[in-house]
Structure 1
């Protein structure tokens, strides 16, 4: 055992007792101490050091400390360390820490041991930050010290201190180049604890691993790749790994299967429509360069096709060397590829993107793709000019009148166990429950070509021949009209063009046939000569057949002709027709041809989406303009309505006030006169001591009678006439609002505005006026009982002199003159106030009631204004977004174009099949 091991394990004392194994170490060391002490220059430090060890092992820590305090040679630093160990064992951690940290030595072993003891002490005292700092310092200064890195790794992992754990693994992997540490790092990556580090932190270690063990390198790079694929720093990860791979001498022959698959997945993910081209421009070229450099046998062709397709759309982004290598590889490499699956994957990706971006469900295109992937069924498309006899031929095939008139919609007739009729449009799929629904669709004129009808029906002829018949509306003379029908032709495997035997190959038929060959040059065309039963005799029929056949061979040498008549023997004709169809069925390379058509539909979709994008932009701009115009008009209508309300309120209130004022004037005029006429009630023999009381009662009685029996009925009639005029005014207003609503609804194109006024207001007025005019009770008015000077004198005189007969003539004249000449203005005003008091609230509420009458229309117009504002804002935001970030829409379509071209490079172009455009 080395001296260092003895010092570490505290077994230095064994140097003194090797020859005295049977004697207790304390005694041996004691005798040695006494013997050394007798010398002239004794050296007792070594013996004291050894004694301290023995006391320590026997847990006499205080004695051990005492011994170690008196060490004055080269063992002094170890003695200090041992003394701190003893204090540590005594539970005096603070004292131990002070001693440990005070030790100064150049001995790396002692430094390591002190640090490890400090590390344990910090852990026991809960000083975790100090423990982390200490263990990292040990690893940095003496990483090869036994178990140091393992202690550090265990400590970091137990605390889940993954930052320090990863740092330790990377540093040790680079320092030792040990696969063990790369395996530890791989475990950390797979646990997902390396994501907080910048990708370039690992580059040096990965490069070292590449030259040491390529299999482990691929495994670790793949782990990093998968770990970063879901992070925001994904592009940074891809970029760093690409740069790393570019700087390595990769050889395709080394078999980088995992990395090749990762490059494929990453490439298709990046161009899947989630990212903008400007985001990809700096990453894709390096990714493709690396992919083709390391592509395994299964990925050589896809990688080469990816390079060529990307280079087509983004020239000069890839090196010429890589492009030439891709061209060479794709022309010389054979590959087993599930072409249909790859094509459908691309198609479905585009469909998912389109649906997510509100581009419609595209059900009709999906249906066409389903037909093209049904390789068990051969599609025969029957077409011809309107009136050529095409519908008669189709009905004859099914031996029933499926079409009682020329069809206006594309129909696919298929064999099935039961009848099922389905209409497919871009936006919805509808099951037609009744045959009448099918015939209604066949007869319609508007939007007929925006749908396809699938007619499934039990049919032996279709079943025996593995056939589906696709019937089209009759072709017309107009080129554009024909195109709307012919755009569905690519679903067909063969076209059967129906000719009218009475005038075969007219100019219109030749023009239609030429257009078919331009639109679908790869689809074989054959002919059916219909209406042969209308030919007068057999000789003419044979002549017409031979002439038509000669013309056909001049135009299409490989085309065949079949003569058809609804009058021929049914069974014979069907047998001949079956032979004819079998002769024109071209099933060779059917899957390749349909694959080309699938690509055509994908390309057509991409073009249509761009057009839809432009249409949406134009529609939004038009919607903004239209809503701004409507907003202006609606605001004008609102302002006009406020004017109408103000005007009607003023008019009706003024009319009501004029009635009231006239009534007030009448009361003001009638009351004084009525009261003055009460003077006739004064007689010479009247009891003048109380005549003022009797007159006051009589005057009130006459006023009550006058107001209740004359004025109130008259006021009622006046109010009814007023309500009638209000009704006329309101009717005029409602008529005006109806016209206003009709005008706006005409612009909206729907019944959006209903400007209905609240005529219940008139009912409320009638009820209120009936109630308020049903009766009147005048509160007693003090007419002659007031304390005016004249009244006071008269009443006093009446009481004083009324009993004397000689004074009655004088009182009679005075009273009569007083009643006749008294000013009753105040009385009239008081009476008027009482009369009109019940109507005060009614009058005050007139403005509110008129507003209530127009509340509904005003609210409706206000809501329309708000909706127009919201539409303007929403459309502007969408338009701004589209104009600000046009790449949000165009970039995914461009990337789908890249994928399409890649697929064409791998399949259609490689096989020499002509691409359909």
Structure 2
């Protein structure tokens, strides 16, 4: 055992007791001590050091400390370290720490031991920062010291100090080139604790592990790839790993199973429509260049097709050597990719993207694509000019009059144990309620071509021939909609009318079908053969029609048909004909070509939809701005009408009141003066003024109630009638306005109905106000005016004397007849018209209520137009500011489409449909 190991393990004392193994160490060391004391210059430090170790082993820490405190030779640093260990064991941590930190030595082992003990001390005392600093310094200075790195790793992991744990593992893996340490790094990456570190942090480790073990290199690379996949640093990692792979010159012969897989997954995730092209242009070429270099055999064709498709849309972005290699691979190698599944994934991705961007749900297109997957059924599309007898032919096949009128929608007939009928449009699939509902849909003409009717029912003919019939509306101006169904067919059966077969119009339509779907075979049904005059003429027409058809379409077959022929014999012959025109060779490849066509046409339609949406937004903004202006003008007209009517109606009401006030002003004074007739020479002049005042009030009350109120009632009813005519004219004007706007909007949106209940309220109020009036007694002759005062005083003083009555009679009579009653008239008018004035003040409010409904409707329409303008202008701004947000995803979908075309259609010789 080396000296340093003895010192480390505190067994230095064994050097003194090797020859005295049967004696206790204390006795041996005591004897050695006594022997050393006999020398002229004794050196007791070594013995004392050894004694200290023995005492320490026996937990006599104080004696051990005493012994080690007297060491003055080269063992003094070790003695200090041991003394600190004793303090540590005794729980005197501060003393131990002071001693540990005071030790100065050149011994790497001693320094390491001190550091490890100091680390344990700091850890136990909770001084974590100090513990981290000490253990990191120890690892740096003496990483090969037994258990140092393991202690550090365990400490960091227990504390979940992943930054230091990762640093330790990466550094040790690169330093020791140990697979075990690289496994630790991989485990850290897989647990997700390395995500926040820059991808470049691992570059050196990847370089090192590649030289040691390519499989472990692949494990670490894939682990890092997966960890960065959802992080902001994902693109940084992709750039970093691609540059690293270029520098390492990685090749296919290493069989990179996992790495090839993540390349594939990453590539397809990048072009799924989530990113802009400008984000990918610097990334994809390197990614594809590396992928094709390391792709496993099962993916080499996929990678090559990806290279070629990207290079088509972005020429010169990938090195020509890589492109040439991809072309060579595509031309020579077979592949085992599930093409339909991959294409369906692409199709689904496009539809999900379209729905997320408000481009419609495309439910009808989904249904059509699903039909492509039914490889057990041959799709026979029936078409022909209107009147060619397709519906009769369909009824013959079904054995029932399913269609009693020309087809208005695309109808798909399938064999099925039970009757089930569905209407499929872009928004939804609706199950119809039996054949009556089906017939009703067939009679419908408006928007009929927007739907497909699928009718499933038991059909022996369809079952035996494994056939699905797609019946299209007659070709009479709607060829475009019918042409959209052509690619769902495996074979086209064109129905001709034997009375006028293969006309120029039919030849033109067939040319369109052939141009659009050149790979779909076209055959003919010569219908209505029973209408030909005789058998010889029938044969002539059949032969001439066949010859003419073959001059255009040499491979086409023709079948003569009539609904009046023997049905059993004819169906048997038709069955043979159907079997002869069914071409099931390479059906899956042909269906795949159709699926690719649907994907391409979907991308094209979505691009066009974007243009249509922009044009619709522009038109919507223009239209709403125009409507906003017209509606604002209309609102001003409503307000002007309200103001004008309020002025006219109020003026007419005031005129009635003014005339009655004038009448009262004229009638009341005369009435009061006529009361002089009540004064007699024998009247009691001391009370006559009271009697006269009472009578005057009575006469005014009767006059107002019996004369004025009926007249006022009559005038108000006439005023209400005139007002109704005014309101009616306003309503007529508003109805015309509503009709105009409804015509502009194309819907019954405006109902500018005024509130005629106002008139009923007025009638009720006028009835109430004119039904009865009680005048509060007016002080006419009981006031304290000088003349009245003198007259009343004189009456009281002189009225008792008979000789004075004649004089008082004349005076009173003259006073009543000549009195100024203007104050009385004013007071009567005020009291009588008080409630009518309140009614008058409410007229403006009531007329406003009459027009409130129309004003609210127009105001709301103005607000909606303004909101629509702002919303559409905002959408237009976004579309014009970032057009790539819409265009780029579709471009990337096209890259994927071209990739599948490279892998499938082009490679198998099947013609690509564009």
- With structure 1 as the length reference, what TM-score do the two structures score? 0.95
Are 1:672 and 2:685 matched, yes or no?
no
Q: Equivalent residue of 1:454, what SS?
A: strand
Structure 1 position 173, deviation (Å):
0.9
State the alpha-carbon separation in 2 of the partners of residues 412 and 30 from structure 1: 112
CA distance in 1, matches of 2:108, 2:652: 114
SS in 2 for 1:559: coil
What are the Cα deviations for residues 721-759 of structure 1, in whole angstroms up to 9, with x where unaligned?
222222222222222222212111111111112222222
1:521 paired to 2:518: yes
Gaps in structure 1 of 5+ consecutive residues: none
Counterpart of 1:548 in structure 2 is 545
* In 2, Cα distance between equivalents of 1:457 and 1:781: 99
Structure 1 position 266, deviation (Å): 1.0
The reply to whether residue 743 of structure 1 matches residue 776 of structure 2 is no
CA distance in 1 between counterparts of 2:643 and 2:102 reads 97
State how 1:108-507 maps to structure 2 within 5 Å: 108-476=108-476, 481-507=478-504
Query: Partners of 1:109 and 1:820 in 2: how far apart?
Result: 144
Which residue does the alignment assign to 1:878? 875
In structure 1, C-alpha distance between the alignment counterparts of 2:710 and 2:80, rounded to whole Å: 126
> How far 1:39 moved relative to its partner?
5.5
User: Which residue matches 1:10?
Assistant: 10
1:837-852 correspondence to structure 2 within 5 Å: 837-852=834-849
- Of the candidates 895, 905, 908, which is equivalent to residue 908 of structure 1? 905
Report the CA distance shift for 1:100/1:800 in structure 2 as closer, same or farther (over 3 A).
Answer: farther
Instruction: Give 3-state SS (helix, strand or coil) of 2:493's partner.
Output: strand
TM-superposed deviation, 1:370: 2.4
Q: How far, CA to CA, are the matches of 2:291 and 2:667 in structure 1?
A: 113
1:623 aligns with one of 620, 623, 637: 620
For the 8 Å contact 2:292–2:303, the answer to whether it is kept is yes
Contact 2:29–2:47 (8 Å) recurs in 1: yes
Contact 2:343 2:900 in 1 (8 A): yes
Q: Write the distance in 1 (CA, Å) between the matches of 2:369 and 2:243.
A: 41
> By how many angstroms is 1:194 displaced?
0.8
Structure 1 pair 779/52, CA: closer, same or farther in 2 (3 Å)? farther
Taking the TM superposition and a 5 Å limit, the aligned residue runs for 1:552-701 are 552-701=549-698
**Alpha carbons of 1:682 and 1:26: their partners in 2 closer, same or farther (altered >3 Å)?**
farther
- Write the distance in 2 (CA, Å) between the matches of 1:304 and 1:559: 39
Residues 409 and 472 in structure 2, CA contact (< 8 A), matched pair in contact too: yes
Unaligned runs of 5+ in 2: none
Give SS of 1:782's match. Answer: coil
Measure the CA separation in 2 of the matches of 1:321 and 1:628. 58
Change (3 A) 1:35 1:325: same
Q: 2:71, 2:38 → 1: CA distance?
A: 18
Report the alpha carbon displacement of residue 672 of structure 1 after superposing the two structures with TM: 2.8
Cα displacement string for residues 331-369 of structure 1 (whole angstroms, at most 9, x for unaligned residues): 221222322222222222222222222222223322322
CA distance in structure 2 between the aligned counterparts of 1:653 and 1:39, rounded to whole angstroms: 142
Distance of 1:825 and 1:285 partners within structure 2: 108
Of 31-40 and 50-59, deviating more is 31-40
Of 205-214 and 84-93, the range deviating more from structure 2: 84-93
SS at match of 2:413: strand
What SS does structure 2 have at the residue aligned with 1:376?
coil
SS in 2 for 1:456: strand
Q: Which residue of 1 aligns with 2:533?
A: 536
Shift of the alpha carbon at 1:497? 2.3
Q: Does structure 1 retain, via aligned residues, the 8 Å contact 2:420–2:434?
A: no
Name the CA shift for 1:791/1:529 in 2 (closer, same or farther; >3 Å). same
1: CA distance, partners of 2:858 / 2:98: 86
Does the CA contact (< 8 Å) of 2:424 and 2:430 recur in 1?
Answer: yes
Residues in 2 aligned to 1:510 and 1:77: alpha-carbon distance in whole angstroms: 110
Paired with 1:832 and 1:25, the residues of 2 have a C-alpha distance of 139
* Alpha-carbon spacing, 1:127–1:652, altered in 2? closer, same or farther (3 Å): farther
CA deviation after TM superposition for structure 1 residue 55, in Å: 4.3
Aligned-residue offset at 1:616: 0.9
- Once the two structures are superposed, residues 271-299 of structure 1 have per-residue CA deviations (whole angstroms, 9 ceiling, x without a partner) of 11111111111111111111111111101
Shift of 1:259: 0.7
1:185-222 per-residue CA deviation (whole Å, 9 max, x = no partner) reads 11111111111111111111011111101111111111
Secondary structure at the aligned position of 1:422 is classed as strand
**How far apart, CA to CA, are the structure 2 residues paired with 1:108 and 1:816?**
147
What is the CA distance between 1:372 and its match in structure 2? Answer: 2.3
Report the counterpart of residue 74 of structure 2 in structure 1.
74
Inter-partner Cα distance in structure 2 for 1:689 and 1:475:
116
> Offset at 1:128?
2.0
Deviation at 1:58, TM superposition (A): 4.3
| 2:682 counterpart SS class | coil
Using the TM superposition, name which of 406-415 and 734-743 deviates more. Answer: 406-415
Partner SS state of residue 505, structure 1: coil
Q: Distance in 1 between matches of 2:661 and 2:99?
A: 116
Partner deviation per Cα, 1:8-63 (whole Å, 9 max, x = no partner): 33334444444555655556555655665665655444444444444444444444
**Matched residues in 1 for 2:819 and 2:27: separation?**
152
What displacement does 1:820 show?
Answer: 2.5
CA shift, 1:622, in A, is 0.8
**What do you get for the CA RMSD once the two structures are aligned?**
2.3
Query: SS where residue 226 of structure 2 aligns?
Result: helix
Measured against aligned partners, the alpha-carbon deviations of 1:300-328 in whole angstroms (never above 9, x if no partner) come to: 11111111111111111101111111111
* CA displacement at 1:853 relative to structure 2: 1.9
For residues 84 and 785 of structure 2, the distance between their equivalents in structure 1, rounded to whole angstroms, comes to 123
After alignment, is 418-427 or 851-860 more displaced?
418-427
Question: Take 2:53 and 2:805, find their aligned partners in 1: how far apart are those partners?
Answer: 155
Indicate the SS of the match to 2:453: strand
Distance 2:546 2:539 in 1: 10
| Secondary structure class of the residue paired with 1:488 | helix
1:539-589 per-residue CA deviation (whole Å, 9 max, x = no partner) reads 222222222232233333322222223332222222222222222222222
1:369-426, CA deviations, whole angstroms, 9 ceiling, x for partnerless residues? 2222211111222222233333333332223333323323322222222322222223
> Is the aligned partner of 1:810 residue 2:807?
yes
CA distance change for structure 1 residues 174 and 812 in 2, over 3 Å: closer, same or farther? same
Give the Cα separation in 1 of the matches to 2:12 and 2:365.
91
Q: For residues 758 and 45 of structure 2, what CA distance do their matches in structure 1 show? A: 120
After superposition, the Cα gap between the structure-2 partners of 1:645 and 1:34, relative to the gap in structure 1 and judged at 3 Å, is farther
Kindly state the Cα deviation for residue 599 of structure 1 after the two structures are TM-superposed: 1.4
Alignment match, 1:782:
779
Equivalent in the alignment of 2:857:
860
SS in 2 for 1:854: helix
Cα pair distance change 1:105/1:836, threshold 3 Å: farther
Partner SS state of residue 412, structure 1: strand
Q: 1:702 to 1:522 in 2, by over 3 A?
A: same
**Using the alignment, how far apart are the partners of 2:763 and 2:463 within structure 1?**
80
| Correspondent of 2:829 among 829, 832, 837 | 832
Tell which deviates more after alignment, 769-778 or 13-22.
13-22
